[in-house]
Amino acid sequence: MQVLPKHYFHLKNYSPAIGLGASISSITKDFEGNNKSLPIGSLPDAGAFESIYDHPAPYIDTDSSRNGFVLLKMTQTPAGTVNKINIYKGLTTAPATKYKDTTLVTKYTDSLNSIFNKVIYYRMTSVGASNLESGYSNEIKTISFTPPSLNFPTDLSVKVDTNINFQWEKIDNATNYKIQYPAFIQDNQID
């Protein structure tokens, strides 16, 4: 974890203040002496320090996983300046190899995921109207679980008033299991 000074005013890569400033002819440099509009020709950032990006990265708000699919919900501010989202995925923190790209969306489903029951890291960048890529978004750590296989009973034909001992395959990284089963009552069982 990166420890920052108490008064750290640099913008995060996904800050909506990137490109939000106004050009003032008398202010050409930030507090570190960098040009106030980076990259050259872009709008300046709001704040004391200039980012090297012309627009912010998306922010991943939430993630969820069901039956092997991973759903990421994200926010891109401002949305009108972005053409596509690049998705980076890996088994270690800070993945740097692009996995996929997609048009600007507020949610993305990784339906082609083939990594199950292991920790997966995602982060994103966006490509703006100027065809420049933003910095990386925040990082999400998730696990794409697959349903466990039922080992016993195998045929599910159990007589009434029988105690059932369910046994299932253990899933790596799973700490809780939820069992759902139907309860059928036949007419001749009701008194």
pLDDT in tens, 65-91: 887 889 999 999 887 778 899 999 999
Residue 148 has pLDDT above 60, yes or no: yes
pLDDT-based confidence at residue 190 (cuts at 50, 70, 90) = very low
Q: Among the listed ranges 146-150, 152-156, 172-176, which one has the minimum average pLDDT value?
A: 152-156
pLDDT-based confidence at residue 158 (cuts at 50, 70, 90) = low
Q: Which among 4, 92, 119, 17 has a CA at the least distance from the CA of 59?
A: 17
Domain boundaries, the chain: 59-143
Lookup: tokens for 68: 């092997």
- CA distances to 49, 150, 178 from 168, in Å: 55, 4, 11
Residue 16 has pLDDT above 70, yes or no: yes
| Higher-confidence position of 55 and 1 | 55
pLDDT-based confidence at residue 189 (cuts at 50, 70, 90) = very low
Residue 40 has pLDDT above 80, yes or no: no
What is the side-by-side strand order in the sheet with 98-103? 98-103, 82-90, 119-128, 140-143
Q: Which among 80, 119, 84 has a CA at the least distance from the CA of 98?
A: 84
| Higher-confidence position of 128 and 165 | 128
pLDDT at 138: 95
Residue 177 has pLDDT above 90, yes or no: no
pLDDT at 191: 41
Q: Quick check: helix, strand or coil at residue 98?
A: strand
pLDDT at 54: 86
Q: How many CB atoms lie within 10 A of CB 56?
A: 29
Domain 59-143 fold? Immunoglobulin-like (2.60.40)
Q: Which among 96, 146, 97, 143 has a CA at the least distance from the CA of 120?
A: 143
| Higher-confidence position of 67 and 117 | 117
Handedness of CA 130, 135, 140, 146 (dihedral sign): positive
Asked if 107 and 114 count as a contact pair (C-beta separation under 8 A), the reply is: no
